[in-house]
Amino acid sequence: MLAALARLIPSRAALWAALAALGAVIMALIRRDARRDERRAAQLKDFEHAEDIDARVSDSRADPERLRKYDGAGWRD
């Protein structure tokens, strides 16, 4: 394969430049996948935190004594 490329590309410097460009493209694709994975992990973490907050709010609302200790308390003029 490299022999076929060597016949199409006139100099070794051009061949190395083409290989470097190909390597850069591959690295960019790998980096894009890593960025996508990081974004997905952040979204999953946000969803987990939202579920925790929702569970805590639901638990506090289900408590029948939640407002009893403040019953009758309020703003005074």
* Res 22 pLDDT > 70: yes
**CA distance linking residue 77 with residue 67, whole number of Å:** 22
CB of 9 within 8 A of CB of 19?
no
Could you tell me the pLDDT band of residue 68, with boundaries at 50, 70 and 90?
low
Mean pLDDT of 39-48: 92
**CA distance linking residue 36 with residue 39, whole number of Å:** 5
Mean pLDDT of 16-32: 88
Structure-block tokens of residue 60: 């506090």
CB of 18 within 8 A of CB of 9?
yes
Could you tell me the pLDDT band of residue 77, with boundaries at 50, 70 and 90?
very low
The pLDDT score that the predictor gives to residue 72 is 64
**CA distance linking residue 60 with residue 64, whole number of Å:** 9
